[in-house]
Amino acid sequence: MSITVAVVEDNKDFRAGIAFVLKSAMNLRCVGEFSNAEQLLHEFPQILPEIILMDIGLPGISGIEATAQLKAKHPASEVIILSVFEDDENIFHAICAGASGYVTKPVMPQQLLEAVEQASNGGTPMSPHIARKVLKMFKKYAPPPQTDYSLTKRELEILELLVDGNDFKEIAGQLFVSLFTVRAHIRNIYDKLHVHSKSQAVVKALRENLI
């Protein structure tokens, strides 16, 4: 089965380049190319992409706001931010909005394909310097009082593995359970934490010292 991907990028040439890379991959299928987020949100129910490559600086609503709207309605889809912005504020807000990854431009074709594959497998693709920024940001915030979310021992175990950067397949392998079982636990974790994505769950786990 091909991984379906949509691209939201206002730069026509860059958008065409990304689409070309996606279409050249055997296991990917580009189902939409959009110059603004409003078009994606309008056509989303018809194309249902599994992965969305999202710019931040878009005409109309920003990529961060679009990510928040998308994750609220379609939490199963994964958003990877592709942006020139590397400041803490944009990174932090993108993750809190539900982005599953954050990759800075320019991006090499192989890096782009690996990011899509990683997100599809439950990972959190990030440029190395962005990952370091994220870790530093978490250290700035003292964790608030821990809330009892009634997570089971197994759910806490899986949450810790998510924080450590493991994708769903890796978690299944480490726990000697099926991928289906892991996904079921992940859904329960999201429901209990009131989040819509892996990145939001990781942020909440770190900020509230849940593990």
For 138, residues 6+ apart whose C-beta sits below 8 A from its C-beta are: 203, 206, 207
Q: In degrees, to the nearest 5, what angle opens at C-alpha 77 toward C-alphas 116 and 81? A: 50
Q: Give the whole-angstrom CA distance, residue 132 versus residue 139.
A: 11
pLDDT over threshold 90, residue 63 = yes
Residue among 135, 128, 123 at smallest CA distance from 99 = 123
Q: Which domains does the chain have, with CATH numbers?
A: 3-138 (3.40.50.2300), 143-207 (1.10.10.10)
Residues 85-134 pLDDT 10s: 988 889 989 988 999 899 999 899 999 999 999 899 888 888 878 877 77
Cis peptide before 106 (omega within 30 of 0): yes
| Distance between CA atoms of residues 198 and 203, nearest Å | 9
Residue 206: the pLDDT is: 80
Q: In whole angstroms, what is the distance from residue 89 CA to residue 47 CA?
A: 31
Q: pTM, whole model, 2 decimals?
A: 0.72
| C-alpha–C-alpha distance, residues 208 and 211, integer Å | 9
pLDDT at residue 116 in the model: 95
Q: Where are the alpha helices (DSSP H) in the chain?
A: 12-24, 37-47, 63-73, 88-97, 109-120, 128-140, 153-163, 168-175, 179-193, 198-207
For the stretch 8-48, pLDDT in tens is 999 999 999 999 999 999 999 999 999 999 999 999 999 99
